[in-house]
Structure 1
Amino acid sequence: MIHHAGLIAAFMDGGWRGALIQGPSGAGKSDLALRCLDSGFALVADDRVELWTSGGRLYGRAPETLAGRIEVRGIDVLPAPALAWARVSLCVRAGTPERIPEPAFTDDFGLRLPLLTLALLESSAPAKLSRALRHLGERR
């Protein structure tokens, strides 16, 4: 299934952990992905993600027409190095997070995945995402 989202991944503990970034158009999904790339993350997909399940896990990749490309608002859609696919370890939703939230999960894809609400345009969002991916990914 194709999902309107972005997917980035960080190499942690010997493997790639993906974060599926969800939100309405203009919420800052590509902006967050771009800033995360400058913080050591790898791009998997921008704007559209092809998702599938296998072995009780969720995976994603870019549709062929968008592979290796990222929207840089105000400039263009530009080429970018990208992973062919990644396992989704965390779902991120655009929003205003609580100061210290209770653990949240989503069952949107038929699997229970950790869910993080994040203000995508905050300057600290890449650092928060990195820490959440490490911390919340350990619970799986």
Structure 2
Amino acid sequence: MGLFGERVWEHTIVVFTRGESLEGKSIEQHFETQGEALEWLLEKCGNRHCVYDKQAKDQNQVIQLLEQIESVVVNNSGRHFELDETTLREVEEKKRAVQERANARQLKVEEKRKRLIEGEVRSSLYQKSELLS
């Protein structure tokens, strides 16, 4: 979340799937049992959330989600979320650095594997030469 900055929360709605697994409990009751992390998440996004229950026969859950999306759009004056150029460059630089480290680790693994195989071949050849002598 640090990559997006605090502004992302103005554009966030948490969608819970598998509402049928609540087994008759309200989502609020479920929140109370799930601890501080979930409470923090909901607080950060202005308590905007929606529950999708695939067993529900009515369209109210879809209508509620669309209404929340419309509310977010209105509250943000119709603007969508965008990363600023500086943040975008930082993200790209971090991504490039991670990829470079991954490539370096892969080369080390391949080198160690090659040395291990060469060592096993030499050991095998040595054992065979000992048997022949």
Considering fraction of residues, name the structure with more strand: 1
Larger radius of gyration: 2
Considering fraction of residues, name the structure with more helix: 2
TM-score (norm. length: structure 2): 0.27
TM-score (norm. length: structure 1): 0.26
